[in-house]
Amino acid sequence: MLLERDLIQAVGFRNVGDGDDVTGFQLRVRMPSYRGMAASLIDGIAVRVDDLVDVGHDVPLWTFSGRTYTLAQLWDSDGVRWQLEDAAVITVPYPGGLPEGVHEVSIELRLRMSYVPVEHQPSTYSETRHITLSSGVDGGPFQYGVSLYSFMTDYGTVLDLETALAAVADVGATGVEILGEGHVENYPSPSTAWIDRWFALLEKYSLEPTNYGSWIDTRLHSSGVNARDLTALEGAAMLQRDLRLAATLGFRFVRPKIGVVTSDLVPHPTWTEAVERSLDLAADLDVIICPEIHSPTPIKHEVVDDYIGLIQRTGTKHFGLLLDTGIFQDRPIPLRPGELPGRRPAFLDGIGVDPADIAGIAEYVVFIQAKFHDIDENLEDQQIPWVPVLRALKDSGYTGYLSSEYEGERTPWRSIEQVRRQHSLMRRVVGELA
């Protein structure tokens, strides 16, 4: 399991207590040295949070390998180590705990290095970071999850599978969404060992598989003198391969991203036959196929009408709609460095679908990808109007997953904090809805 680069870790920042009494809060801190060391060399850690908490270096408690110590106990300890690969858990007494939301957290960590002259000791490491306290709000009637797509391009570079799942669980989410070709090792034929580890990690972090992202690559053979489109039979084979793998991994929903033929995402005409040929298998596996309604396609569109038409024509219970909240974006995404106005797709400025349109399709919606791009330190989303969106979903009777899909700036580790902010924001909004 990997650690965040910052000394103060976002994952693990939470209130703690004894029974129903909240007695303080915790944060995790990475070892700043190039080596692990005996815990008796720790000289304490001062912690400040906003204008609420300011405690000296001897106040916080330290937890290593599941055992908690005072600073004095660490000084007298033998064999207790702060390993380089492990974060120390710091507990700060604070009756009632911290309020939910984004906090400015500062630390001053002191370590004693035996090979540095005593007059230059202790070595001091200071850092300040804004991080979101994991929410204790229930957030009903919805369930909450995270797509591991949120962590691209962190995944495989600064995050591994376990680190990503730990970050998902730490926000109080219970569901995890993956991309088959993005997260399954040796796709489409993962080893038995990888599958066993997948289920072991799900159990460890109390997560359930939700939606599995797949592709029907209609342009699979689109180059060269023998270029051609994929046939419906070939598309069905692709979809059925992923239905089987998704079911093996415990997923209940499969999102096929189907090749498109227009700029407003009208799918290739073979999609209907490819899906209908796969409905019996989906029923046997008890998996629901759910293509997404994704910007720039609005709710009131022929694509959506065709999807609903298939449901009505076949009577299937194993095909539904996946709604991507990016369609409700009503403010532009800022231009990236070097990006010129008018040189990118217009839908990145938002297509502003009215959330009231959800009512017309609600009975067919089986999953929500909670797309977002940037939430600031005041827990205000800069593009998505969550109050009307979540109100419309609640009023429609939807009680399924809201699965975070962060698609903003890809600075390493930023996605972890952004997902924390979104979950805090969504739970707060839902709690305030009449």
Active site residues: 294
Residue 332: φ, ψ to 5°: -70, 150
CA 370 to chain centre: 10
SS3 category, 130:
strand
> 98 is written with which tokens?
């911290």
Residue with tokens 């489109």: 229
SS3 category, 70:
coil
> 211 is written with which tokens?
């939606």
Answer for the pair 4, 27: CB distance below 8 angstroms, yes or no. no
Residue 218 CB-density burial (10 A; 0-12 exposed, 13-18 middle, 19+ buried): buried
Answer for the pair 168, 205: CB distance below 8 angstroms, yes or no. yes
Residues paired with residue 54 on neighbouring β-strands, in sequence order: 48
> 230 is written with which tokens?
């994929």
Question: Helix 386-396 and helix 414-432: axis angle, to 10°?
Answer: 60
